[in-house]
Structure formats: C-alpha cells, structure tokens
Amino acid sequence: MKRLFLTLFLVLLLMFAWSFPVLAGSPSCAQCGMDVDLNSKYAAKIVQGETTSYFCDIGDLFAYINSKRVPASGAMVKDYITGDWIDARKAFYVRPVKKFRTPMGWGVAAFRENKRAAEHGEVMDFNGAGRVLK
C-alpha cells in the first residue's frame, strides 16, 4: 500500500511539474526578478557595454529606467509583429490593457512601424510610454 501511495504521489508531482514551463538558463528580470522568456513579444533589454539587463515585460523596462534613472540608450524591445529586437527609443507603443496579456500586466506592446501600431490602438512614442508607465 505504501508503494502504491508513493508511486501515485510521484506521478502527481511529475504531472504538476510538467504543467509549468521551465525556462532553463533564462535571465532574471532586472526589475521584478521573474524569469525572462526571450521569445516573448513583450521581452525587453538594456545593453550597456558588456552588461545586458533583461526585462520580462516592456512595462518593467520603463519602471526600471524611471526608478533607477538609467539612460535609455541601449534599450531594446521586441517588435510585436516580427518578434525582432528593435531600438526602444524608435519604437511605437500601444497600451490597450485588455488586448495584450503581458507577463506583469502592464499591457504594452511595441512596434517598429507607426502604421502597424495604430492598427492595435492609440500610439505613443518612447517618451509618452515612459510617462504613462511610471
């Protein structure tokens, strides 16, 4: 009976563990500490020389820049359409809270092209997004 219970417990434990994606080797978000999925359309980073700080959510990038007073040079975000890294200062941002389900709930997506961003909501530039995402 103990063996059956132990086997059942291990099976349930493995099923539970497999239900959560493990991002082995993922960097931690510099703002909140959560694992960063580098394939996420909402990931962001700041490259400063040899150091790269990663963010799980575009909103965390702005919170970090605002709270740490870090220069935005080297900041990059993912283009919502292609998933390519783009310069955060040249990106166009949209924040329709209900449409984008982002890791930390900031609800912001970045776009390389203004026209594509406008298809998803009201467009903000880098400075506008920075003011909204404090």
Instruction: From 53, 64, 62, select the one nearest 107 (Cα to Cα).
Output: 62
Q: Is 14 within a domain?
A: no
Q: Is 97 within a domain?
A: yes
Average pLDDT over residues 10-38: 70
> Whole-angstrom Cα distance, residue 111 to residue 95?
11
Q: Is 70 within a domain?
A: yes
Q: What is the pLDDT of residues 44-57, one digit of tens each?
A: 999 999 999 999 99
Query: What pLDDT, on the 0 to 100 scale, is given for residue 8?
Result: 54
Q: Is 109 within a domain?
A: yes
Q: Is 10 within a domain?
A: no
Q: Is 16 within a domain?
A: no
CB atoms under 10 Å from CB of 8, counted, come to 10
Q: Is 94 within a domain?
A: yes
Run of H or E including 78: strand 75-78
- In the chain, the number of structural domains is 1
% the chain with pLDDT above 70: 80
- Domain holding 46, by residue range, is 26-132
- 63 pLDDT above the threshold of 70: yes
> Whole-angstrom Cα distance, residue 88 to residue 111?
9
